Amino acid sequence: MSISYERAFVAQLEKRLRGGSPLIQVLVGPRQVGKTTGMSQLLARIPGNSHYANADDLLVTDRTWLLEQWQKALLLGDGALLVIDEIQKVHNWPEVIKSLWDRQPHRLRVVVLGSSSLQIQSGLTESLAGRFELTRIFHWTYTELKAAFGYDLERYLLYGGYPGAVAFENEYNRWYAYLKDAIVEAVIGKDILQNRKVANPALFRQAFEILCRYPAQEISYTKLLGQLQDKGNTDLVKYYLELYAGAFLVYSLRKYSAKRWLTRTSSPKILMACPALHTMTAGQQTLSDPEQRGRVFELAVGVELLQLPGELFYWREKNAEVDFVYRHQERLYAIEVKSGRRKSAKGLEAFMRNFPEAIPVVLTPDNFSRLSEAPNKFLATFH
């Protein structure tokens, strides 16, 4: 990983920790995207004492272990910085942190990091309400990979997402093995299967392979279920999608509708968390097919939009479709992706007739870099 490149969350976190009486800082995001590296960069320049501990590889991480780390930090003096990585591995961590924090509020500056959204966020809302600030860390964007490693768009569409895999791009088999073993299997094995009930782990892994073949595609739960080599029901597929989204691997977009109950019952549009996950499944030749390349570019747009605050949907009525519908702070954007994929140009017009308040945006490979560099500024251009 490029140690010299610093992701934006590092400066944001430093500012918060230097402020008076900072809250507990919670960083949640995928494995292998630089959370720990960012903390190392921060620890190297924050004055004062600090204690770092990682719960990932410990066999026993209970209340006693967490109490031990807290006390080690206290011995460094008031205002010391305590950093706990992979906090979700510690049983009942939110209750323990709450008890320690409430007993001695603000004696320590506390940062906890986690790679499982479902486990982290449920603990926060139940036990730590009012005591924390949450920062979501995402996969590396096109702009970040361009700045750190000189990516162009083609390279991003093939390999984008994980900086640790950059060194292996010239040897596809090594790149594939790194992604599969060091990232995907670690997430499935450690973050999901050890913590969530999954009756058939082999079927669960097969579902991931199937999902990654459908970049930015709408697909029914029934069709997805039909490709699994086992009997089940659509609730099983929905549960799998929930688990993969909670572990930052695959997301599913709902269809936009003014009637929310229709949104909940729609077929999902599949977005794996970064282009690399599709290439891992489909192979290096995936961009040679113009239709598939268009899908991957649409995926790239989608995962950039997913990093924004607000809600992201797709829209379809009969043969009319809009690739993405983004809603935030009373603004509604209808985003059409022009990527070489053959499709009707009437979808945007149809959507605007149904939702005249929407702001139409057309995204192409030519202006994609502007979206990636400053998404809010880019979208504001069209107000």
Q: Which residue has the tokens 């870099």?
A: 369
The predicted-structure confidence for 225-260, as pLDDT tens digits, reads as follows: 888 877 778 888 999 999 999 999 999 999 998 776
Cα 273 to Cα 168, 215, 250, 366, distances in angstroms: 20, 10, 5, 22
Cα–Cα dist 189/258, whole Å: 39
> Measured in Å, how far apart are the chain's first and last C-alpha atoms?
38
Residue 332 belongs to what H/E stretch? strand 331-337
Name residue 240's beta-bridge partners. none
| Closest CA relative to residue 332, chosen from 256, 259, 251, 267 | 256
Q: Is the dihedral of CA 289, 302, 86, 75 positive or negative?
A: positive
Both tokens of residue 22?
């900072």
Q: What is the pLDDT of residue 56?
A: 80
The string of DSSP codes covering 281-296 is HH-GGGGGSHHHHHHH
| Closest CA relative to residue 251, chosen from 180, 179, 324, 201 | 324
Q: What is the pLDDT of residue 233?
A: 80
CA angle 227, 255, 230 (to 5 degrees): 15
Cα 121 to Cα 27, 95, 251, 264, distances in angstroms: 10, 13, 17, 21
Q: Which residues of the chain have pLDDT under 50?
A: 1-2
| Closest CA relative to residue 218, chosen from 141, 104, 316 | 316
Q: What is the pLDDT of residue 2?
A: 45
| Closest CA relative to residue 178, chosen from 161, 195, 203 | 161
For the chain, domains (ranges, CATH) are: 8-136 (3.40.50.300), 142-380 (no CATH)
Strands in 331-337's sheet, in edge-to-edge order, are 217-218, 269-272, 250-255, 311-317, 320-328, 331-337, 359-363
